[in-house]
Chain A
Amino acid sequence: MLDRVFRPAGPGIIFKDFGDEMVVANLDTGLFYSLGGSAPVLWEKLSAGHSGRQIAAAFSGDAASIEAAIGALIAQFQADGLLEPAEGLEAAAAALACGTFEAPSVERFDDLQGLLLVDPIHDVAEAGWPVMPDAPAS
C-alpha cells in the first residue's frame, strides 16, 4: 500500500485547506472530514500523486512509526471512499520536505449522510429523464 499512488475517488470528493484545518468532503456518502495533525499534509501529498513511502521519508522522526501511521490513514481514506488507486501512474518525482510528523487526526461529521440515508435521491441524468410515451426522448 505504501508504494501505491492514489487520487481522489471521483468528482464527489472535494477538499480545501484553510491553513489551520483541512476539510475533505465525500458528497457521495455525505461525510465531511476535519483533518488535523499531519493529516492535511498527507492528504495533499497523496492526492497530488506521491506514494505513502515517499511522504513518510519526507518527515523527520521514527520512520517505522511514521510509515505505520501513514499506512493506517491511507487504509481509512480508501475504506471511506476518499482515495482510490491511480492505476498505471508513477509516483510524482518532486522532492518532498514535510517537517516534523504529528499524529494525524480525522474527525468525521455525518449530518448529510443521515439525511441521505433517510431520503435517497436518484440522479437520473445519465440514463435520461423519464418521459411520458407521447414525449420522445431527445
Chain B
Amino acid sequence: MDCAVRRAIAETTAGIASGIAHGIAAAAGPLRLRIDFATPELAAAFARAFAGATPAAADPADDAGVWRITVASGSGGTPVPSLVPAERGGDMRLGAGAEAYVLWMGRHAPTLYAVDLERRQALYWVEDAAAIPAWERSRPFLPIIQVMLDATPWIAVHAAAIARDGGAVMLTGPGRAGKTTLSLAALKAGWRYSGDDYVLLRTDVPEVASLFATARLRDDMAARFPWIGAVLREVSQELGERRHELVLGGGQGGGGALGGAALKAVLLLDRRGAQAPQFGPATRTAVLSTLMANTLVATPGYEAARTAKVMRLLAMLRPRRFDPGADFAPALDALAGELA
C-alpha cells in the first residue's frame, strides 16, 4: 500500500495540467503546511478556512520540514487517482499503514485523502468541486492533518476552545451541546477563539491552538449573533438542518482574535436547564467518550494511539461538567474564573 500511495500522489500531482492556481502557508500546532490548489475554485472553497493562513511563496527558501497538501478535483481536470476504488459508493474505506495513509469517503462524498508520511506529501482529490460538502469546506482535509500530527504530541479533537490571557478552556460535548454558541459569544466578548468544532490539542503539556477560522452556527441560534452577517460565507443545508457557515478573521464586531493558549480546564457541556452557570463532577470516561467519538470517526485510523494521547492529557487535567445557564455573560464570567 505504501508504494501505491506514493505513486498515486506523485502521478496525480504531476498530472495537474494547469499547474497550481494558488498556494497558502499555514501553521497547525507543530506543523508547517503548504497547501497547493489546482484550481481557483478549490482555493475559493478552502483557503480561507485555515487560521492564520498566508499566500505561499512561489519558491519557498526554507522548505525543510514542511508538509505539502495538493488539492485537486476531477471537475477541474485532474484525472482520477489510481487509489480511487472502482466501486465509489458504499462505506468508507481506510488503509492506515506505517508509511502511508489512505481514506476513501465512499457514499458521503467522492473524496480521497492520501498521505505519504516519509515524503511529507499528501493528496486531497474530490470528484466534483461543486459538490464538496459544507462540513469539508469548514474543516478541510482533517484526516490528512490528523495523520501528520500523529508523530507529535498534538491531536485534532472534536471540541471547542476559547482563550484569554490566563489560559484556555476546552469545551467538549456532542452535537447541539452549545459549543459553537458559547465560543462565538466568547469571541464577541473579547476572548480568543480557537475553534467551535475541531481544535488542536497538545497532550504532553496542556495547550490548545486554532486550526480553522470557521464556525458552523445552527439556524435557530443565528438571531443571537446579529454581527455574523459580516463573516457569513453561506447558509448550508445538510440532513435537513440549516447552518450559517462563518469565516472568522478576528476582530468581529469589536471582538477577539483567533488563537489558543495553555489549557487550564476541560469542561463537558451539559445543559440541564440551570438559569445560572453551574459546575459539577464529570468522569474522565464520559469526557473521553464524547471527545473521541466524533474524532475517531471523522479522522479514522490509528485509534489506539490517538486515544492514548488524550488519556495522557486527562491524567493532567480533571474534567468537570458545565451547565452555562441561560445567558452568555455570566457563563463567560464563570469560565474566566476557571482561568484565575
Contact = CB atoms under 8 A, between A and B. Distances in A.
A124 B94 contact: yes
A16 B86 contact: no
Contacts, number: 122
Nearest to B84: A132
Contacts of B93: 121-122, 124, 129-130
A128 interface: yes
B96 to A, nearest CB: 6
A115 B284 CA distance: 20
Contacts of A116: 297
Contact of B289 (A12, A112, A125, A132): A112
Contacts of B91: 119-122
A115 B85 CA distance: 24
Interface in B73-97: 80, 82-87, 91-97
Nearest to A15: B311
A137 interface: yes
The contact size tier of chain B is 35 or more
The contact size tier of chain A is 35 or more
A23 interface: yes
A124 B5 CA distance: 14
Interface in A108-138: 109-112, 114-116, 119-125, 128-132, 134-135, 137-138
Interface string A16-41: 10100101010100101110000000
Interface in B176-195: none
A111 to B, nearest CB: 4
A121 B84 CA distance: 16
B294 A32 contact: no
Contacts of A112: 289, 292-293, 296-297
A87 interface: no
Contacts of B97: 125
Contact of A14 (B83, B96, B284, B304): B304
Interface in A37-90: none
A135 B82 contact: yes
B82 A34 contact: no
9 contacts: A12-B303, A25-B288, A27-B303, A112-B296, A115-B294, A130-B83, A132-B86, A135-B83, A137-B4
Given A123-B300, A124-B93, 10 more contacts: A14-B308, A18-B315, A23-B285, A27-B296, A109-B289, A120-B92, A121-B300, A122-B91, A128-B1, A138-B2
Q: Which 8 A-B residue pairs are closest in the complex by CB-CB distance? A: A138-B3, A34-B285, A135-B82, A109-B289, A111-B293, A112-B293, A32-B289, A130-B85
Interface of B: 1-5, 7-8, 80, 82-87, 91-97, 102, 108, 174, 283-286, 288-290, 292-294, 296-297, 300-301, 303-304, 307-308, 311, 314-315
